[in-house]
Amino acid sequence: MSEDLIAKALAARGQAYAPYSQYQVGAAVRMADGRVGTGSNIENISFGASVCAERVALWTLIHAQGGRWTEMAVATEDGGTPCGECLAVMAEFVSDPEAVVWMVAEDGNRTKFTFKDLMPHAFQSRAPFTQGRTNL
């Protein structure tokens, strides 16, 4: 089941636009309803305008149909973990703290984490949104 996601993350890495860092990242995300989407990092000459692969993948799915994610795979050169900003975005739309995140390195090495492993104390507002597309 996870193999399809890992293969899609590796393929998405090939679509990265990373001329400044030369660090290509691919991400694949599975939603609770079974949809799968992909993304890659897309950099900008104004470096702060660059966006990570995880957010491209997740936001594309959220834009299309809302929902919550259950599993994610991130492919990089060295099996790097998602950055803090991506974890905050992932926290917004995660289905469950036990949702699985695979880190996949170029040499084929895989590391499996739960979302909670990566972000054990995610910020939650005292007045969380109870309306919205993720709750449809």
Which residue in 5, 9, 41, 101 binds ligand THU (CB under 6 A)?
41
Where in 54-73 is the site for ligand THU (CB under 6 A)? 54
Beta bridge partner(s), residue 71: 30, 100
Are the CB atoms for 29 and 37 separated by under 8 Å? Answer: yes
Residue 134 contacts residue 67 (beta carbons within 8 Å): yes
Identify the residue among 77, 83, 96, 98 touching ligand THU (CB under 6 A): 83
CB of 78 to ligand THU, least distance (A): 11
Residues forming the site for ligand THU (CB under 6 A): 18, 21, 23, 25, 41, 43, 50, 52-54, 80, 82-83, 86
**Active site amino acids:** 54
